[in-house]
Structure 1
Amino acid sequence: MSASATPFTPLRSVLYMPSSNGRALEKAKSIACDGLILDLEDAVAPDAKTAARDAAAAAVASGAYGRRTVTIRVNGLGTPWHDADLEAAAQAGPAGIVVPKVNSADEVRGLVAAIERAGAPDHTRLWAMVETPQAIFDAREIAAASDRLAVLVMGTNDLVKELYAEHVPGRGPLLTALQTAVLAARAAGVEILDGVYNDVQDTDGFLAECRQGRELGFDGKTLIHPGQVPGANEAFAPGEQAVEDARGILAAWEAGQGAGVVTYQGRMVENLHVESARRTLAIHESILALQA
């Protein structure tokens, strides 16, 4: 689903939760995040993988998470758990199946075929994690490989590792990769989520990275702690002034049809401004509906 599609589904804050932790899964029901990634990969020890898989599938089937977008992150291609994870996730029918380290369009097509063979319902989409140099080079092809792919998810920790780079304020070493991935997502009409911020005690640094992600064009941010949810929700939501301006632009446009030149507060209004205003209001109204 493209960012301009209707209805719009907010993904401002998407929180990783370990599926091996029953208390965490229960707590997630009351966290005001837009989405959840029930994790079977990094957050789960090898001897807990099977139990975590069963718990994630049961959590999805419970319907207890309200309007949140609930997904399952499976273990990656080539791991001993991948096939069973993918089959169980497909049969559980979450909003999305998150697959780490997707490196090519062929892998996307193979994953989609496997999801469909396992009987996934139509609403279960593929979320592909982009976290290697190869994935960045092939990001456009990955994003456009299948209509079933709905979201790109940046895996910034793995990308830093693969680049032999460092985590620094402003993310200079990652900017080329981040911008390339956003370009790919927009060209393909899919959503894209920024990577996680590791220091849960550094609120200022986290909020700065949220602002940067929003300025770069990301739809939201993946999170590792519930305390990060409010900051992401605010950063990736239209502000009051943006909503007011969007309404004013649309009112001026509708009032001025046929007038040749339409202005709002002294600024010329064109089709591109109208499209942006409509998207802003779609996001705003969807957030209000989610909160209600």
Structure 2
Amino acid sequence: MRSDRVRSVLYLPASNARAIEKARTLDCDVAVLDLEDAVAPEAKADARDAAVAAVRDGGFGPRLGVRINGLDTDWGLDDLAAMKAAGATLVVAPKVETPEAVHALSAGLAKGCALWAMIETPRALMALADIATSDGALDGLMLGVNDLAKALGTGASPDREPFKPWLAMLVAAARANGLLAIDGVFNRIDDAEGLAAEALQGRLYGFDGKSLIHPSQIAAANAAFSPSEAEIADARAIVAAFDAPDAEGRGAIRVNGAMVERLHLEQAKALLARAD
């Protein structure tokens, strides 16, 4: 599993100067300046210039990324070229549907720039395994729930029942290829209880973090995707038990009334590393 901290990935419109300035101080793990859905067509060029300036100026506490427009739009190729020239280290690409799209995007990035592919169409779901195994700069998969719901024609569900197969599939594709897995957004900004529940569901499915649309959602995502005190205590107990002299050479031992194996020891060490 990747060690990157991406518990909270906050989208901010690149056309909003105040939002960009605020992003420098926020407690999210990743701030993504959006050139796509959050920006009107007539503001695309100005938003691109603002994103370039932000990348070059730096000063962000969170890791900084930029979501470009699709390469099949009037702005995508210019966005990609601008991010390469600016030295962006993370580019988020919308509606990636094929490995060929990953190759085209990767070819336009600066060396060392990571690419996150948004999975948000039925065609992308059907090609997910091929997309995840693409050569290039691909570093993460993100679930685009709003576009996907529209395309699939799914109804509203508090526990995301229609999405459960795709949640599991995206995580499996990411894990099989050493990629990050980022859960989709939660639209109801004033529903703190619903957000907390969905973030915990995302962690249960194996996601590394959650996409966010408002700064008020950061704390809930950081909490959900961070080890709890009970989990840390259990992990320490497992590590201590395997470090005991009588555990030497044993593949499975009893800890707190449960049988644990060496694979649980590896999981415990990974959890403690994330907790540091």
Q: Residue 22 of structure 1: CA displacement?
A: 0.2
Q: Residue 147 of structure 1: CA displacement?
A: 5.0
Q: Which residue of 1 aligns with 2:83?
A: 89
Q: Which residue of 2 aligns with 1:251?
A: 240
Q: Which residue of 2 aligns with 1:284?
A: 275
- 1:55-204 to 2 correspondences below 5 Å: 55-66=50-61, 68-115=62-109, 120-122=110-112, 124-204=113-193
Give a deviation string over 1:164-202, Cα, whole Å, max 9, x none.
112221111111112111111111111111110111011
Q: Which runs of 5+ in 1 are unaligned?
A: 286-292
SS of residue paired to 2:181: strand
Q: Residue 257 of structure 1: CA displacement?
A: 2.2
Q: Which residue of 2 aligns with 1:289?
A: none
In structure 2, which of residues 213, 218, 227 is the aligned counterpart of residue 229 of structure 1?
Answer: 218
Distance 2:211 2:28 in 1: 10
Give a deviation string over 1:193-252, Cα, whole Å, max 9, x none.
111011101111111111111111111100000000001110111001111211221122
**Contact 2:102–2:136 under 8 Å retained in 1:** no
Task: Give the TM-score taking structure 2 as reference length.
Answer: 0.95
For 1:94, give the aligned amino acid.
A
Distance 2:10 2:197 in 1: 18
Q: Residue 261 of structure 1: CA displacement?
A: 4.2
SS of residue paired to 1:258: coil
Aligned length: 274
Q: Which residue of 1 aligns with 2:37?
A: 42
For 1:132, give the aligned amino acid.
T
Q: Which residue of 2 aligns with 1:288?
A: none
In structure 2, which of residues 4, 13, 21 is the aligned counterpart of residue 9 of structure 1?
Answer: 4
Distance 2:250 2:91 in 1: 49
Give a deviation string over 1:267-289, Cα, whole Å, max 9, x none.
2331210121122112111xxxx
Q: Which has the higher contact order (CA 8 A, sep 6+)?
A: 1
Q: Residue 53 of structure 1: CA displacement?
A: 0.8
Distance 2:87 2:116 in 1: 13
Q: Residue 110 of structure 1: CA displacement?
A: 1.7
SS of residue paired to 1:198: coil
**Contact 1:253–1:269 under 8 Å retained in 2:** no
**Contact 1:13–1:223 under 8 Å retained in 2:** yes
Distance 2:262 2:9 in 1: 32
Give a deviation string over 1:103-154, Cα, whole Å, max 9, x none.
0112111211122xxxx131x1110000011111111211111252111011
SS of residue paired to 2:31: strand
Task: Give the TM-score taking structure 1 as reference length.
Answer: 0.90
Q: Residue 95 of structure 1: CA displacement?
A: 3.0
Q: Which residue of 1 aligns with 2:198?
A: 209
Distance 1:174 1:140 in 2: 17
Distance 1:188 1:203 in 2: 33
For 1:210, give the aligned amino acid.
A
1:262 has 2:256 as partner: no
User: Runs of 4 or more off by more than 4 Å in structure 1?
Assistant: none
**Contact 2:171–2:206 under 8 Å retained in 1:** yes
